[in-house]
Each structure stands twice: as structure tokens, then as C-alpha cells.
């Protein structure tokens, strides 16, 4: 029986556009992707890919994005901005599909803000689950889903390789876009919130090793979480990292297939 290959895509905001470049390289070299798990930015890219969105179209669209197209300023007490524009784009690109209808089994990770538990979403409307997964607490309004109040999954699981295993993957390739550089000037409340989460993520990463067979790490040392204007550069960094580790990926795939025979 063929062994299943899982792809775990990390959180990372704008840095997560590197996932597009990795997927482009996998497509060009025939690297299979049988299951996908994503958190935050990884949830967005992974779900769009699983829903059949053309990667080159997605890359071109990403290069035209800015935050004004993605968020609305809001006054509710639970967040600074509304993610409604992003949500509507997800509904459009995924054609309002449900996770159950995807040909590639896909799950996204969110955090229950009231209990602190990680929540794996693999059923229901894709756009709803993804919206929960990327809702950075304090910035985006939390999402009510399944009787829970959900926010960004990066709080509990930045690189959900373990979720790929739960979906039945025999081998897991993770893409970790890492954390933004430290020392950048904090200019506003949104930056304060992002920096706080990044500090927590950096500390959590020390105690939560990535449970993957191969970890691809695009070189994004001087790219911040908000620099959508550098989309082309970020996507290219993803391509470069995937090309650099292609032999490692192919070797891991051969190894798991040999074990199956």
C-alpha cells in the first residue's frame, strides 16, 4: 500500500507566503501531498491548495495584496480589526467548499481562547475554519465556531506536524517559516500585540520540537510578519529552500516506500 505524505505548514503571517513557493517546487518535481495541516498563514495557503487553487494564480494575487484589502478597522471590544474581507476572499477562492469535500484531507489548527486548548478543525466550511486559525488575538475579532471562541492556532501549535500524523500521514514534511527578526522598532498597539505573541512563540518553540521527517526552513531573516509588499521575495525564498532540500525530501520519500515493501 502506498505510504501517505503529509505537509505541515507553519504560522507566520506575511512570511507564510513562502509556503506558496515550496508547493510550486513540489508540483514541478512531482512530490506528492496526501494530507495537509496548517496553522494561521499555513492554514490559508494549505486550504487554498487543497481546494484546487492554481499556485501561480495565488502567487500573482499575493503580490497585489496589502493590508487595506484584507482587514476593516472595527470598534468591537474583542479586536482592533475585522477579518471580514479576508474571510470573503477565502470563501471566493475555496468556492465555499467544506473540508469534507476536499480531495486532499486537510485540517487547520485554532486555539480556544477560553480554555487554552488547541482545536483541530477538519469539517465544516473551509473559510470558517481558516478564519479561526488566523485570528491573531487582540488584533482580529475571535471567531465563534462549534460552541467555542477561537483565535490563532499559533498560540498552541505553530507547525502542526503532529496533526498530519493524526490524518494518517506516514511521512511528514514540515515548512517552518520561523519567527521575525528581533529588535525591530515597535510603532503601535498592533506591533505590541504581534511582538508579544512572537516572544511567546519563540519560547514555546524551545520546548515543542517539530515532529517531522524533514523540516524546510526558508531564509527570511529580515522579513517581518507584516511585509506583504515583499510577497515576491518571500515566495522566492520558499522556492529556494525547497530546491535546496529537495534531495532530502526525495530520500525520505524513498525510505518510507522501502519500508512499505
The residue behind cell 499575493 is: 62
In the chain, what are the helix, strand and coil shares in percent, each to the nearest 5? Answer: 45, 20, 35
The CA distance from 92 to 103, in Å, is 18
pLDDT of 48? 97
Active-site hit among 112, 152, 201, 213: 152
Residue ranges of the chain with per-residue pLDDT less than 70:
1-2, 65-80, 183-184, 256-261
Active-site hit among 10, 34, 40, 176: 40
161-190 pLDDT, tens digit per residue, is 999 999 999 999 999 998 877 766 777 777
Domain 5-254, CATH homologous superfamily name and number: Cytosolic phospholipase A2 catalytic domain (3.40.1090.10)
Residue 259 — φ and ψ, nearest 5°? -65, -30
Task: Note whether 192 and 198 are within 8 A (CB).
Answer: no
Query: Which distant-in-sequence residues (6+ apart) come within 8 Å of 189 by Cβ?
Result: 80
The CA distance from 175 to 4, in Å, is 17
Nearest to 193 by CA among 233, 239, 139, 142: 139
Catalytic site includes residue 213: no
Task: Note whether 198 and 179 are within 8 A (CB).
Answer: yes
Helices (H), the chain: 18-29, 41-50, 55-62, 67-70, 84-93, 126-134, 161-166, 189-205, 231-244, 246-260
Residue 121 — φ and ψ, nearest 5°? -110, 120
Task: Note whether 83 and 138 are within 8 A (CB).
Answer: no
213-223 pLDDT, tens digit per residue, is 999 999 998 89
Catalytic site includes residue 103: no
Amino acid at each position: 500500500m502506498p505510504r501517505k505524505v503529509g505537509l505541515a505548514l507553519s504560522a507566520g503571517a506575511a512570511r507564510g507566503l513562502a509556503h506558496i513557493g515550496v508547493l510550486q517546487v513540489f508540483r514541478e518535481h512531482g512530490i506528492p501531498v496526501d494530507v495537509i495541516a496548517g496553522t494561521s498563514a499555513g492554514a490559508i495557503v494549505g486550504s487554498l491548495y487543497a481546494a484546487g487553487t492554481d499556485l501561480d494564480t495565488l502567487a500573482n494575487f499575493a503580490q497585489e495584496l496589502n493590508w487595506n484589502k484584507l482587514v476593516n478597522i472595527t470598534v468591537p471590544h474583542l479586536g482592533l480589526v475585522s477579518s471580514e474581507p479576508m474571510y470573503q476572499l477565502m470563501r471566493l477562492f475555496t468556492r465555499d467548499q467544506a473540508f469534507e469535500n476536499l480531495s486532499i484531507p486537510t485540517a487547520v489548527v485554532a486555539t480556544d481562547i477560553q480554555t487554552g486548548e488547541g482545536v483541530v478543525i477538519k469539517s465544516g466550511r473551509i473559510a470558517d475554519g481558516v478564519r479561526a486559525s488566523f485570528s491573531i488575538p487582540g488584533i482580529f475579532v475571535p471567531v465563534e465556531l462549534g460552541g467555542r471562541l477561537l483565535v490563532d492556532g499559533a498560540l498552541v501549535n505553530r507547525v502542526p506536524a503532529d496533526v498530519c500524523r493524526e490524518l494518517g500521514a506516514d511521512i511528514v514534511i514540515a515548512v517552518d517559516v520561523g519567527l521575525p527578526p528581533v529588535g525591530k522598532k515597535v510603532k503601535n498597539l498592533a506591533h505590541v500585540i504581534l511582538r508579544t505573541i512572537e516572544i511567546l512563540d519563540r519560547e514555546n518553540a524551545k520546548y515543542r520540537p517539530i515532529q517531522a521527517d524533514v523540516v524546510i526552513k526558508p531564509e527570511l531573516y529580515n522579513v517581518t510578519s507584516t511585509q506583504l509588499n515583499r510577497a515576491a521575495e518571500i515566495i522566492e525564498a520558499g522556492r529556494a529552500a525547497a530546491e535546496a532540500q529537495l534531495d532530502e525530501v526525495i530520500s525520505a520519500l524513498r525510505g518510507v516506500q522501502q519500508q512499505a515493501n
